[in-house]
Structure 1
Amino acid sequence: MEVFTRWLGDSPFDVVLNGLVIAIVCYFAYRIVLEPVFAVVSRAWNAWKLRGNGAQSLEIIPPAQIGKSPAATQQLFTVIQRLLAGHGVMSLELVASRNAGIRYVVRARSADLAPLQRHLASYLPELRFRLHDRAEPLPETTENGAYTLLHELKFGRHYAYPLQAHDDLTESDPAAFIAGSMAKLKPSETVVMQLVVSPFHSYWANRLANKLHRKGYAVVEGRFKHFLLQHWWVWIVAGLIGYYSKNVRMTASWAIILLAINYVIMFVRPSEEPELTEAQQELYRSMLDKLNRPLFRADIRVFMRADDTDRLRDLQAGLNSSLAPLNVPGFQQLTIPRFNPIGNRLSRFKFQRRLPSLFAFRPSILDTSELASIYHFPHGLIETEGMVRSHSRTLPAPLSLKNDPELDVVIGMNKHHGTDTPIGLTEAERERHMFVVGGTGSGKTTMLKYQLVQDIRNGKGLAVIDPHGDLAEELLEYIPEARKKDLIYLNPDDLEHPLGVNLLELPAGLTGNDLLREKDRVTESVISIMRKVFSEDDSGGHRIEYVLRNATQTALTLEKPTLFTIFQLLNDGKFAKDAVKNLEDENLKLFWKDELGKAGSMQKVKMTAGITAKIGRFLFSASARAMLEQEKSMIDFDEVLDGKILICNFSKGKLGEDTSMLFGVTVLAKLQLAALKRAERKQKDRKRFYIYVDEFQNFATLSFTQMLSEARKYRVFLTMAEQSTQQQDDQKLVDIILANVGTVVTFRTGSPKDEEYLLPLFLPYIQQGEISNLPAYNFYCRIAGLTPEEPMSGETIQLDS
């Protein structure tokens, strides 16, 4: 009790007065000492979390053209400020080097990066992201043989004075100047601008904002001096009391009483408002606007590395001048503090570890508008040399794929703004066929290979026609032991073990109408094949087809005919004469005796030269003769469609382009004939069979393409890949394909005409030029097997070796 009375006094007046003194001292101790200490401890703790294992780096790749307004960017930073509530810390960086270009990198806690990525995707859906599990390494601040410079930028005056506003980026864009100063670096040079930001909440900032709102003006700098001068008579009277009483508590008590009286007088007596100029009013309004926005405490650091000091000074001058549009002459500017060896060493430590400053005499406090002016993607078309940008956007996977459908085959992976979704087709969607377009090296063969291996492992029947040979050879390594009995490897270049395929072979045991129907099918197949291999300069195509039809029908009346039997009929008069003797069809007899037989030598040559020239050239191909001259086919294509694996290695490099084309068209024709014969079976007895054709333009015939609309009922489903839609000799084939396929996949193509065909399938989700600018192994995909869905982007999946 004695201690209590010693401090507060004996009388009630002393107790109240001294209690009031202690309360005021405690209040100011909290506001001036404890609150800043707590803020320092909080910043230190969050800085420690940022440098720990729980932090990651997110590289943000902007599109080539951006039209976002400053207001939208301010809203983004408002959301980020709320995201970092609780004094979270984030490092916003612009990193430039000759090799890696100019890149936007954000370093934050893993828990903050996931929602940040979603917010950025909502702000600009065209953004691409690269997430690094480990921190994006910053350059060393000290290196042998290199000169480095690091400085922190500070506000020249109190943070309430705002930087220059940039509400119209079409006229002036600070980000373009900043990025431009980092362009054209030499191989060993590096420039980094780092902003370590955290939410800023301050009692004093709120108090200043209230004063500005209430009075329209406020004393921002020299407030303590202003406080002393405003109450000058209080300090004189209190000083006299203290001088004569020699009692500290009495002096303090009277000072408080007099201050209270002075405040009452000031409150009762209307004060004279100072006359403010229009410029001052505008300044105070801008200060109030800044303090009313969400605020960030920011450490702005700039690092440069070069081979000599002159170049270092050039880089420094360029970057400093690029920040000039942010300054407000006479009021606020970003300044470089004087060099301090100890402080510079500490700054390098904080820069490397992306740490905020724990103590700052004059902190840089940015509102969302100021932060958006300094750190945003350049407005409009990005023309800054070396800036990493995306020329094609990613698209999300449709809901049907996200809801765990029963996929029959996976074709790639949708990676959109941090979410990975497998892209695949159900059995029903595969029934509508698949069309893949992509230039050399774009990734289409990688996609086909991944699909094929899945089908092989899942026990499905399939055929692969590969005009390059690499895919066919690689697939052999993925055949499981249990399926090797189903494998048929057709490699015409293997002359020691040739597999015969006779296009004119007729099934045994057919009679009557069944035999006639089979002859018609074979004849149509031969004509389709020959039409594909006819030269573009052949004239009288319809006449040639007429001759070929009659020659093929005649060959089918002979014993064990082959493709070369047709050549013999047209090139060997004696052989033809003997064949005609046994003909029973009067129409065929008339053709050989009256039409071809009565034609003159020159006319006969015109009628048959196109056919004999094409077939005759294959007589001089060892692989063609070994495969096509055999009377008995060693491959039963009916059996193939019942679940076998047929891998065709028709390498153009080994066989020649024409021979490779002939083999591919022949196999497709045989598969087509086998499919058509499935009409004799019940639907439930027709096993699913998948045909994969790479470089489909080399083998596509009109009759086979037209079968796309009918193949579904025969349960034969196609995946066709080609480099460009313009490679088709007949553009009608492309129209037929696009009209009948349910799944269209496009990789990067080099032909502008491809976008004319394909872009309408993906509008309005992508724009002109995005297909031709896709990165390698990236694609756009539209699946419309049962119901139309929005297109998506994807990446191919590499097989495990």
Structure 2
Amino acid sequence: MVGWFKRTPAVALEMRGLSGGDVRWLVGLDHRIARELPGQLQAQLPGLVLVPLDHLKRPTPLVAANAKLSSLADPVRTDMTASVTAGLLEIMNTLKRGQSVVVQWVIGAKQSRRTKPEAFSIARALGLVAVVKETTDDRRLWKLKTAEQLFLVRGRIGARARSPESARLLVRRLGEALQLVSSSRAELWITRAIARSVHQLDQAESGNRWSGILNVAELASVVGWPVDGAGSSVTGRGRQYPAPSALTVPVDARDQRTSRVLGAGLHPSQRNQLVTLPVESALHHLHVVGPTGSGKSTLLNQLLHADVAAGRSVFVLEPRGDLVEAILAGVPADRRKDVVVIEPGQAEMVVGFNPLAGSAEDAEQRADHLLHLFRELYGTSLGPRSADVLMHALVALSRSNQSTLADLPVILTNAAFRRRVLAAVNDPLVLAPFFSWYDGLSEAERQQVISPVLNKTRAFLSRTAIRRLLGQASPRFALDELFQRPRIVLVNLNTGVIGEETSQMIGALLVTQLWQAMQRRAVTPAHQRHAVMVVIDEVQQYLRLPVDLGDMFAQARGLGVGLTVAHQHMGQLPPKMRAGIIANARSRVVFRPSAEDSSTLASVLGGGLVANDVSLLGAHEAYAEVLVNHRPSEPFLIRTLQPDGQALSDPTDLRRESSARYGVDGQALDEELRQRWNGNDARPDGRIGQQPRRTA
């Protein structure tokens, strides 16, 4: 407290640096203003967070010095704020073990002065020194200084080190950083650092005399606060907001069954706190952007481990296999039987799926979805006549109980097989007339129509592993199980083994079938729908549904499905997909992007972020934005947690168990296909494919 009777409450502002780059900004308040002042400060400084501290860590300096102004009236430089803060931070970020420093400013009563103050001089009072007349320049500078509220201030700096000499050197360096605000008329000078001044600094006393008078802008120049991003280039951090308190839990109180951990909070007020992504927020969908090596896979692994530990259903689709391997290693014993591994590269005991399987009522819808997928993947190379033939062939196969996608080339080239399928379907109004026309084409005409289809389908169906994956009429596993009971479905698309084009086809087929199974969940009462988490890495390659992306996200949310879509950079997304994901994924995690994406992603995250903020992200650091109580949070900083390296299961064993439970013997399946395509001709040398026309 200050004033004649110590009745005016004071405020102490400290910037403290500890070894290891630990920088803290402390605010000490008199109890009479502790209730109102924090709110006033936060109103003036958006993003400022004040956290009450019960146990304050304030190392006592070894030596301390006072900071004084040579003039009470003349202004100091306010254009050096960023430079002062950067200088102080540079010193604090290079402190060695056992070293600490502090810059303290005690702020006293506000000053309402109409006239320029003068320091008291006995010589002038006795008439021994002539009175200097006030000039126009003096009045201008005083008017400039009084344009903002004035305060009495007392400045001190202190340091602790292994020796007094080292501590004095640190004080001198701090003083040099502060002296950048000195102007031609008002110099900030630092007294000698001595041990006798430590007590006043430690107690934040104002003493008998003040260091000077500063207005608000001048005060901001010397306190070392990173206002307007000052100091970010030194700390390696961009603009920081704290994570919402509803998302934070102590490090030692993590509960995986109620929330999913995003990472450790990096805001200074949230040290030793983990930031979580609640299931309610996850059901409004998550968008993850990060180039290779940024920490994206670590985050996805982290979230999925929480889902597996909590007993939730998960579906994971990724192109490389590293994420699947990590998840398998973390499966606990009580969930081993829930694991389903789909890997297109396997040729024996293949866990397959049938995109054509389903009810007869939905046959046309399945055919539409598949035709849309072919058009998405192959574009204009699939002409109108070829698309027409493909559509009717898919409808015929979808209506047949035992048909698969592996039958597609056969129905177009094998007349006997085609007749058997059409006889089983029995559609005299649409399919029979169409294929009557088709059979009437000459050989050359037919080849011209079907060649584009055969070229595309044979590219992947001619491979043994893919044929066995897609040739199972009644697979032992159906994606509907994912929504009926807890299942862990892991799809490793093995891009390096089967090629990128085949990988895209298989992934898109699985996502399409997943979407159809998701829609069938609508008949289940809402209270019986357990949460299902779907993660699609490199989403741009596999999300090719014939529905508006906004409708898909909305329906998924209503059906209790949380989508996590991930990719490396924004340029990978087609414009419509990009707009749909940005608009409908209500939570977002952005790792350090490329220079081309920095401005875009800063704008998407909001909160006043600029390109430089996201460019300052380090490895495994990210900005996160989470939907909390139906409102997106401000973007806050996290660091993903590194895996502990402990394996709960052997991935090889889980793959073997999954294949034994859901796989089909490859050779037996080949024989089944041969018999189906050749009818009663079960001879080993039975013809497969187009049969020659009989001659009269």
- What TM-score comes out, normalization by structure 2 length? 0.66
Q: Distance in 1 between matches of 2:600 and 2:118?
A: 62
Partner of 1:418: 269
1:484 aligned onto 2:336: yes
Retained in 2: the 8 A contact 1:781–1:793?
yes
Partner of 2:234: 387
1:465 aligned onto 2:328: no
Give 1:700 shift: 0.5
Partner of 2:75: 165
SS of 2:454's partner is helix
Partner of 2:501: 658
| Structure 2, unpaired ranges of 5+ | 1-7, 162-168, 250-254, 645-696
Distance verdict in 2 for CA 1:610–1:135, change over 3 Å: farther
Q: Distance in 2 between matches of 1:626 and 1:111?
A: 76
Supply the AA of the counterpart residue of 1:82.
A
Supply the AA of the counterpart residue of 1:173.
M
Distance verdict in 2 for CA 1:450–1:702, change over 3 Å: same
Partner of 1:294: 152
Q: Distance in 2 between matches of 1:711 and 1:195?
A: 53
- Which of 183, 193, 211 in structure 2 is aligned with 1:365? 211
Partner of 1:452: 304
- Which of 374, 392, 397 in structure 2 is aligned with 1:555? 397
Q: Distance in 1 between matches of 2:316 and 2:278?
A: 19
- Which of 647, 660, 667 in structure 1 is aligned with 2:510? 667
1:278 aligned onto 2:278: no
Distance verdict in 2 for CA 1:301–1:466, change over 3 Å: closer
State how 1:574-613 maps to structure 2 within 5 Å. 576=418, 584-586=426-428, 587-595=430-438, 597-598=440-441, 601=444, 604-613=446-455
Give 1:710 shift: 3.5
1:639 aligned onto 2:481: yes
Retained in 1: the 8 A contact 2:289–2:569?
yes
Partner of 2:375: 531
Q: Distance in 2 between matches of 1:504 and 1:221?
A: 102
Partner of 2:5: none
Retained in 2: the 8 A contact 1:398–1:789?
no
Retained in 1: the 8 A contact 2:602–2:610?
no
Q: Deviations over 1:250-297 (max 9, x none)?
A: xxxxxxxxxxxxxxxxxxxxxx998652269969x98x999x843315
Give 1:566 shift: 0.6
SS of 1:766's partner is coil
Q: Distance in 1 between matches of 2:284 and 2:117?
A: 71
Give 1:547 shift: 2.0
Retained in 1: the 8 A contact 2:261–2:276?
yes
Retained in 2: the 8 A contact 1:521–1:673?
no
1:733 aligned onto 2:577: yes
- Which of 456, 459, 472 in structure 2 is aligned with 1:614? 456
Supply the AA of the counterpart residue of 2:328.
L
Q: Distance in 2 between matches of 1:664 and 1:389?
A: 39
Supply the AA of the counterpart residue of 2:356.
L
Q: Distance in 2 between matches of 1:571 and 1:505?
A: 22
SS of 1:418's partner is helix
Give 1:354 shift: 12
Distance verdict in 2 for CA 1:121–1:665, change over 3 Å: same
Partner of 1:220: 121
SS of 1:548's partner is helix
Partner of 1:176: 83
State how 1:93-492 maps to structure 2 within 5 Å. 124-126=45-47, 161-162=71-72, 164-166=74-76, 169=78, 172-173=79-80, 176=83, 196-197=103-104, 199=106, 219-220=120-121, 277-278=133-134, 293-299=151-157, 323=179, 326=182, 334=189, 365-369=211-215, 372-376=220-224, 387-388=234-235, 390-394=237-241, 397=244, 408-410=258-260, 412=262, 418-419=269-270, 422-427=275-280, 430-492=282-344
Q: Deviations over 1:303-331 (max 9, x none)?
A: 9xxxxxxxx9xxx99996994762556x9
Partner of 1:719: 564
Distance verdict in 2 for CA 1:610–1:746, change over 3 Å: farther
Distance verdict in 2 for CA 1:545–1:736, change over 3 Å: farther
- Which of 772, 781, 784 in structure 1 is aligned with 2:625? 781
SS of 1:641's partner is helix
State how 1:503-518 maps to structure 2 within 5 Å. 503-506=355-358, 515=360, 517-518=361-362
| Structure 1, unpaired ranges of 5+ | 1-78, 85-89, 142-149, 231-271, 304-311, 338-343, 507-513
SS of 1:647's partner is strand
Retained in 2: the 8 A contact 1:465–1:694?
yes
Give 1:708 shift: 3.7
Percent of aligned pairs with the same amino acid? 19
Q: Distance in 1 between matches of 2:522 and 2:74?
A: 78
Aligned length: 605
Give 1:563 shift: 1.6
Distance verdict in 2 for CA 1:611–1:321, change over 3 Å: closer
Q: Distance in 2 between matches of 1:568 and 1:604?
A: 14
Give 1:407 shift: 9.4
Q: Distance in 2 between matches of 1:720 and 1:684?
A: 26
Give 1:492 shift: 3.0
Q: Distance in 2 between matches of 1:620 and 1:588?
A: 27
Give 1:752 shift: 5.2
Give 1:773 shift: 3.4
Supply the AA of the counterpart residue of 1:334.
W
Q: Deviations over 1:149-183 (max 9, x none)?
A: x997876xxx77438513x73xx537637957999
Give 1:498 shift: 1.9
Retained in 1: the 8 A contact 2:355–2:513?
yes
Retained in 2: the 8 A contact 1:434–1:744?
yes
Q: Which moved more, 1:741-750 or 1:120-129?
A: 120-129
Q: Distance in 1 between matches of 2:219 and 2:100?
A: 13
SS of 1:531's partner is helix
- Which of 453, 468, 491 in structure 2 is aligned with 1:648? 491
Give 1:459 shift: 2.2
Partner of 1:502: 354
Q: Deviations over 1:325-358 (max 9, x none)?
A: 62556x9663787xxxxxx8x67x999x997799
- Which of 2, 10, 34 in structure 2 is aligned with 1:82? 10
SS of 1:298's partner is strand
1:694 aligned onto 2:537: yes
Q: Deviations over 1:433-484 (max 9, x none)?
A: 4444444444443443333223222222222212232221111233222222
Q: Deviations over 1:362-390 (max 9, x none)?
A: 999344457654444688786x9963364
Distance verdict in 2 for CA 1:608–1:120, change over 3 Å: farther
Distance verdict in 2 for CA 1:563–1:82, change over 3 Å: same
Distance verdict in 2 for CA 1:278–1:324, change over 3 Å: same
